[in-house]
Amino acid sequence: MKSLWKEFIKYAVPSVIGIMVSALYIVVDGIFVGRGVGASALASINIALPVTTLMIAITMMITMGGAAVTSIKFGQNKYDEGNNIFLESLFLIVVITGILSVVGVFFPEGLAKMLGSSNELAKGTAEYLRYYLMFGLGFSGSLALSAFVRNDGNPKLAMIALIVGAITNIVLDYMFIFIFNYGIVGAAIASGLGQLSSVFLLLSHFFRNQGKLKLYIPQLKKSELIRILKAGTPEFIVQVSPAVSVFTFNQVIMRRIGEVGIASFSIIGYISVVLIALFIGISQGIQPLLSYNYGKENYKKVNKVFKMGVKTNFTASLIIYLIILVLGEKIISIFNSDKTLIKLTFDAMVIYAFSFIIASINIVNINYYQSTENPKIANIISASRGLVFTVVFVIILPLIIGDIGIWTSIILAEICTLIFSLYLIYIKKIEINKI
């Protein structure tokens, strides 16, 4: 059992550190923008979030799908087939995110209007989208390569690359916003250059032949491309759900509270990015162990790793919620000094953050079934969590109990997801492949 915990720590800790650092530099963007540009710029970035989240969701769908299948192939000692899956994944990412980036660069104003931006926020939203998506392939490349490098036995390099990207972004953020006064455009460019620095560092893994994965032109096979997308679909739903829920939240908040509510929700979003990143980092960190042992047909070990993930995530969520209760106002004040905004955000955050306790379990559940190629359950849980319960509750609850219903909706959504997933698995007994 001790050796299994060592394996767990080997993969989970670098994954958590890397993803949380990645999330932290998104938060630093928010701090610099909130302090250096203003609350309206924070609101503009929040309006743009569904598009940037969609790009990340597509990347992570392909990455986690490809990583799971590659690890299974390696567990079966089919290294050439596994390497080709890796290369096909990179091909899909370049093509799909490349198209999205081109659309965003040339038509940002139209996207801003589609996202429900007000006239006051439209210009800032469009500017952020254009310059952020100019570096779209850098963002996607950093996310994808860090996952594959980690799975290829080099989790430390994956972690270091994300840290280097974060530091680069922070330094450039300060320069572009406070020294050169580039405003919201500077924040977008700093983020893009930070991600590119991560990509260059991650590529050294392949140039130095430090693992089993190699770079060459892949053999594109329709069946394998479909398998990658199918295995990664649950991750896509997990990642795109925030885009759908943020869009819905924005519409409800704008109508009921106004732009100050959007700014408040933006701060909650920045803080949530870091906290949810912890749970996702642990889940993604155990993915190689789940998939590899599944390929080896060591199902007992698979279930032990899963339970480790649940216990770790749940414990972390309790600690996080206590920190928010004690230090929430001080954390929020880092983004903006307006007392009215701080109070509004803290009151909402205390309610909203309770959902993290249940979300920590739901995220591991989804990753477990995805990593063991059980997309049926993973898809149902993912869709229920982000695309059904959250959207339904955020629309209905405010009509019944007022504005507090906006923040309570996410708690009910996570609880209903957990109950529904237990119902599917233990009552309906949906088939699970060999596990």
pLDDT digits (tens, 9 = 90+) for 297-326: 888 888 888 888 899 999 999 999 999 999
Give the per-residue pLDDT at 260. Answer: 86
CA distance 144 to 66: 10
Whether the predicted pLDDT of 432 surpasses 50: no
Residue 49: phi, psi to the nearest 5?
-55, -40
Categorize the per-residue pLDDT at 1 as very low, low, confident or very high, splitting at 50, 70 and 90: low
Q: Which two tokens stand for residue 188?
A: 């977008």
Categorize the per-residue pLDDT at 25 as very low, low, confident or very high, splitting at 50, 70 and 90: low
Whether the predicted pLDDT of 434 surpasses 60: no
Coil, helix or strand for 37?
Answer: coil
Helix axes 119-134, 183-207, angle to 10 degrees: 20
Lowest-confidence pick of 42-46, 126-130, 267-271, 354-358 = 42-46
CA distance 136 to 139: 5
Give the per-residue pLDDT at 410. Answer: 92
Whether the predicted pLDDT of 431 surpasses 70: no
Q: How many degrees, rounded to 5, is the angle at CA 277 between CA 273 and CA 281?
A: 170
Instruction: Name the one residue in this structure whose structure tokens are 């659309």.
Output: 103
Categorize the per-residue pLDDT at 270 as very low, low, confident or very high, splitting at 50, 70 and 90: confident
Q: Which two tokens stand for residue 65?
A: 């799908």
Whether the predicted pLDDT of 31 surpasses 50: yes
Is residue 356 within 8 A of residue 275, CB to CB? The reply is yes
Helices (H), 76-212: 79-106, 108-114, 119-134, 136-151, 155-174, 183-207
Whether the predicted pLDDT of 435 surpasses 70: no
What digits encode the pLDDT tens for the residues 71-114?
A: 888 888 899 999 999 999 999 999 998 999 999 999 999 888 88
Residues 356-384, mean pLDDT to the nearest whole number: 83
Residues in Cβ contact with 52 at an 8 Å cutoff, skipping those fewer than 6 apart: 129, 132, 133
Give the per-residue pLDDT at 197. Answer: 94
- DSSP classification of residue 243: H
Lowest-confidence pick of 52-61, 108-117, 241-250, 251-260 = 241-250
Residue 240: phi, psi to the nearest 5?
-85, -20
Please tell me the chain's helix, strand, coil percentages from 3-state DSSP, rounded to the nearest 5: 85, 0, 15
Is residue 63 within 8 A of residue 89, CB to CB? The reply is yes
Q: Which two tokens stand for residue 314?
A: 């749940």
Residues 257-264, mean pLDDT to the nearest whole number: 86
